Amino acid sequence: MIDYKQIAASISSKVEPAVIQAVAEVESQGDGFLASGEPKILFEPHIFWRSLVKRNIDPNTYVKGNEDILYKNWKQGAYGSISSQPARQRKAMKINIDAALEAASYGRFQILGENWKSLGYNSIQEMAQDSKTDEGQIKMFVRYIKTNGLTKYLETKDFKNFALRYNGSSAEKNGYPKKMEDLYNKLH
């Protein structure tokens, strides 16, 4: 059982547990793991592309046969089911392990692997390993919030600005602020 009160307190005494629970519910339906026990992930093919380029690997040489896991620009609705994500990542790992690990968002709070260094991990493998436990997923989330200056938005329940900084520019279009606020209001 996740202790949202403890997570909130580890961020700030002014953050309500219902705010943290609302974020978790919107990000991953409140569960950090699949029925198989694997961490819940979202594999992002456009991030995989970017991670390969960062390693001086030309993604174009790998596209044929990998169109489902490797493309340059984000595509709405192209991810597939949540249960298919680990297999997609494993397929990408055959091209490059670190790039494939960086290209996934992990766990209950869906923290993107690309953030491993800014979150104080020694490697992406260390972060991916942390995603295999509730404690590790919580640690990633708390580090992400503090590292990116998001505490104030959680304290004031400013879901719009939180979601914009947490989920990116499409947060509002995807309804994240409203979903978080509505869920918070239900929980509170």
pLDDT digits (tens, 9 = 90+) for 86-97: 999 999 999 999
Any domain includes 122: no
- Residues ≥6 apart with Cβ < 8 Å to 93: 100, 101
Question: Do 17 and 59 sit in the same domain of this protein?
Answer: no
Whether pTM exceeds 0.85: yes
Question: Do 59 and 20 sit in the same domain of this protein?
Answer: no
Question: Do 179 and 141 sit in the same domain of this protein?
Answer: yes
pLDDT digits (tens, 9 = 90+) for 54-88: 999 999 999 999 999 999 998 877 888 999 999 99
Any domain includes 129: no
The mean per-residue pLDDT over the stretch 125-146 comes to 97
Q: Which domain holds residue 8?
A: 4-34+135-187
Any domain includes 117: no
Question: Do 47 and 97 sit in the same domain of this protein?
Answer: yes
What's the domain count of the chain?
2
If you ran DSSP here, which 8-state letter would residue 33 be given? B
Task: Report the distance separating Cα 109 and Cα 138, nearest Å.
Answer: 8
Give the count of beta carbons closer than 10 Å to the beta carbon of residue 50: 16
pLDDT digits (tens, 9 = 90+) for 150-180: 999 999 999 999 999 999 988 898 899 999 9
Any domain includes 125: no
Any domain includes 146: yes
N-to-C CA span, the chain: 19
Any domain includes 76: yes
Task: Report the distance separating Cα 165 and Cα 67, nearest Å.
Answer: 29
- Look up residue 35 and give its two tokens: 């029925």
Task: Report the distance separating Cα 155 and Cα 1, nearest Å.
Answer: 23
